[in-house]
């Protein structure tokens, strides 16, 4: 098995971060040639859909199971088990993912391995492969995030509803539940939904998925308003506005007594809950009662 220092060297080697001195230390390991062969094989290996650990254990059991009684030398088996464990470690490191998450009302600034930056909005999750980033610049988003992407190979943001492909640009993606919106603030992006609707967006253009169709939008701001802790809506169903309030303030609405389909135009900031509630609910003729993290709504 690798000790902690070897583990660190191996992880850095997979990510091309070893300096010359560290590489020489790694090459001194007796298992180095085996590691090199495994890494070469992993270049053509895709994440399996089956239980890797269980399948590997089964395979190793068949390989090392004695076929008939005989004298067994302990040292070769210990070495074989150690080598097998090292393979498991390498595969585990190779498929290891990095996940960033934000709580309701919080935001997070992230720097990706290629220097691209991501601002993650509240109640959102971003995941990407830890290693071999330069060959697979893809992230998986649940929620909302603003991206500034460095030049290089194709960069892909995948959500449960659609994906965005880009080469060096700035754009915002919102993929929450049944919501899918993309705004381009610089450069050019390609948007594709799960049912293969596609749009090419340039600076100042956006789209949102409404009734299963991509609808064009105009982007007038230099960056998403949520980065300045503010949300603005134009003829949006009240349900979506209440959803955003819940995300930004970590509250829950009791909504069964109101019409959530009525359209709202206006906005709220993220700094004061009472002001935000008044900004949205009073113009809509809705009364509210706050009890801890629960807000009960009723018509005035």
What tens digit of pLDDT does each residue of 84-106 get?
Answer: 555 555 555 555 789 999 999 99
The verdict on domain 97-218 having CATH code 3.40.50.300 is no
The answer to whether the CB of 180 falls within 8 A of the CB of 156 is no
As a whole number of angstroms, the distance between CA 121 and CA 173 comes to: 10
As a whole number of angstroms, the distance between CA 208 and CA 27 comes to: 52
Look at residue 178 in the predicted model and tell me its pLDDT.
80
- Rg of the chain over Cα atoms, rounded to whole angstroms, equals 26
Which one of 18-32, 54-68, 140-154 scores highest in mean pLDDT?
140-154
Look at residue 31 in the predicted model and tell me its pLDDT.
59
Look at residue 82 in the predicted model and tell me its pLDDT.
53
Q: Which two tokens stand for residue 83?
A: 């080598």
The answer to whether the CB of 264 falls within 8 A of the CB of 279 is no
Q: Provide the 3-class DSSP secondary structure of residue 37.
A: helix
The answer to whether the CB of 10 falls within 8 A of the CB of 59 is no
The pTM of the whole model exceeds 0.85: no
Q: 114 or 59: whose pLDDT is higher?
A: 114
User: What residues are paired with 138 via a beta bridge?
Assistant: 156
DSSP state letter for 222: S
Tell me the pLDDT of the chain averaged across its residues: 81
| Architecture of the domain defined by 229-299 | 3-Layer(bab) Sandwich (3.55)
The position carrying tokens 């980033």 is 133
For residue 61, what is the enclosing H or E element? helix 52-64
Q: Which residues contact 31 (CB under 8 A, 6 or more apart)?
A: 83, 86
Look at residue 52 in the predicted model and tell me its pLDDT.
46
CB atoms within 10 A of CB 259: 13
Domain with CATH 3.55.50.30 in the chain: 229-299
CB atoms within 10 A of CB 63: 9
Q: 59 or 118: whose pLDDT is higher?
A: 118
As a whole number of angstroms, the distance between CA 125 and CA 160 comes to: 12
Of all residues in the chain, the percent with pLDDT exceeding 90 is 57
Which of 21-25, 139-143, 268-272 is least confident? Answer: 21-25
């Amino acid at each position: 098995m690798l000790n902690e220092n070897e583990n660190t060297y191996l992880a850095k080697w997979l990510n091309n971060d070893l300096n010359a001195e560290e590489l020489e230390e790694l090459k001194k390991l007796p298992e180095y040639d085996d590691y090199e062969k495994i890494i070469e094989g992993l270049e053509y290996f895709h994440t399996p859909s089956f239980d890797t650990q269980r399948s590997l254990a089964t395979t190793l059991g068949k390989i090392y199971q004695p076929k008939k009684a005989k004298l067994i030398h302990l040292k070769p088996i210990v070495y074989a088990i150690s080598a097998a464990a090292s393979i498991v470690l390498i595969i585990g490191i190779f498929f290891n993912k990095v996940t960033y998450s934000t709580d309701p009302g919080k935001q997070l600034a992230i720097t990706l391995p290629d220097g691209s930056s991501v601002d993650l909005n509240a109640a959102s999750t971003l995941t990407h492969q830890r290693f071999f980033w330069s060959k697979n610049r893809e992230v998986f988003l649940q929620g909302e995030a603003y991206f500034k992407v460095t030049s290089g190979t194709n960069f892909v943001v995948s959500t449960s509803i659609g994906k965005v492909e880009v080469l060096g640009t700035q754009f915002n993606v919102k993929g929450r539940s049944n919501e899918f919106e993309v705004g381009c603030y610089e450069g050019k992006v390609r948007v594709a939904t799960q049912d293969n609707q596609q749009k090419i967006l340039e600076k100042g253009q956006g789209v949102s998925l409404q009734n299963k169709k991509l609808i064009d939008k105009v982007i007038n701001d230099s960056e998403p308003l949520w980065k300045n802790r503010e949300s603005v809506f134009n003829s949006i169903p009240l349900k979506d506005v209440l959803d955003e309030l819940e995300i930004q303030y970590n509250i829950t609405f009791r909504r069964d007594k109101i019409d959530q389909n009525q359209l709202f135009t206006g906005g709220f900031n993220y700094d004061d809950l009472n002001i935000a509630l008044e900004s949205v609910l009073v113009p809509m003729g809705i009364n509210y009662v706050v009890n801890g993290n629960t807000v009960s709504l009723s018509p005035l």
